[in-house]
Amino acid sequence: MSLLPANLPTRAEVRAAIPDECFERRTGRAFGHLALSITLVTGLAGAAAAWLPMSWVWLPVWVAYAVACGTAATGLWVIAHECGHGAFSPHQRLQDSVGFVLHSALLVPYFSWQRSHSVHHARTNHLDEGETHVPSRAARPRPPEGESRLRDGRRTSGTMLVIGRTLLFGWPAYLLVGVTGSDRRGRSNHFWPIRPFESELFPPRWRRRVWASAAGVAVVVGLLAAAAIKYGIVAVLALYVGPYLVVNAWLVGYTWLQHTDVDIPHFAEEEWSWLLGAFQTVDRPYGRAIDAVHHRIGSTHVAHHIDHRIPHYNAVRATAAIQDAFPEWYRYDPTPVALALWRVGRECESVEPGERGWWFRTTPVG
């Protein structure tokens, strides 16, 4: 007997609700958005290199530069992500070339991550076979009725530590040892697909692409090393590493908040379906400026999980169509992003079984 909600629409019904025009990929328009991101990043980096002194007195300004340039460079990351999904252009070799260059420049193994991210889309919010931010199961039962729901929540210092650690180290930890990935597939490494990191995530047919991805990143690391020799390691740290860390924080923060909150369940195999998992994605209010710079990756992510072929510049229309057709399933949380991140970092430790799914311990069930 199916445990799926009776009113869950079919994939065909959801696809029919999205206008066909939303799937049109325009290479010229995609390059226009790419040009915007490149202009912002190169403009900020060029101005910093030309005008900011490399001294401790100017450290606060360098921190501000890292935040601004890293925020702008996240737009390049998003476009490379779109290339990996095939939403950048109908010309496959062109978009793979663009994605490979952009992701390699940001030390992301393009084809490796394309593979792991496709698994994330295929098994979204699956309790055991999801990919990225897979929750742990609670080791002890829920507190009795009447006790504080927040008994399991972290203290302020613990919450700060969890959020800081996740944003700063979450991305490299995932790429190198598969942290927050599915334990069922074994520990993975996005650069090294053989022993001791043989994983179902990268079957033998993917290994050549993993090696190619690793080679692309190695070239960029070599260029950074050459720049450090010529211009000094401080210059590389200030101009590249600072913004790079900010890009990573944006990436992890987006992914975390897109699929995790106190009212978002995960599902065991007998409960899970692809569409049920996809509808657990949540859109959030990042504001017009961030939406423009980041190509709306945080405010139209539900539509992206419903169909990743939708280019970001058509995602607003697709989102409106999904919301109108399926208001009981579309998720939008108006909570300010900073407060939502604090709530997730504080309360979303582990899940336990409840009515129709596995819920974070501080979430009421029934």
| pTM as predicted | 0.93
Kindly report, residue by residue over 161-187, the tens digit of the pLDDT: 999 999 999 999 999 999 999 888 888
Instruction: Give yes or no for residue 361 having a pLDDT over 90.
Output: no
Q: Can you tell me the distance from the alpha carbon of 311 to that of 329, in angstroms, rounded to the nearest whole number?
A: 22
131 has a pLDDT exceeding 80 = yes
Helix axes 59-85, 242-259, angle to 10 degrees: 50
Banded model confidence at residue 140, pLDDT cuts 50, 70, 90: low
Number of CB atoms found within 10 A of residue 56's CB: 8
Residue 3 confidence class, pLDDT cut points 50, 70, 90: low
Instruction: Please give the backbone phi and psi of residue 362, each rounded to the nearest 5 degrees, phi first.
Output: -90, 5
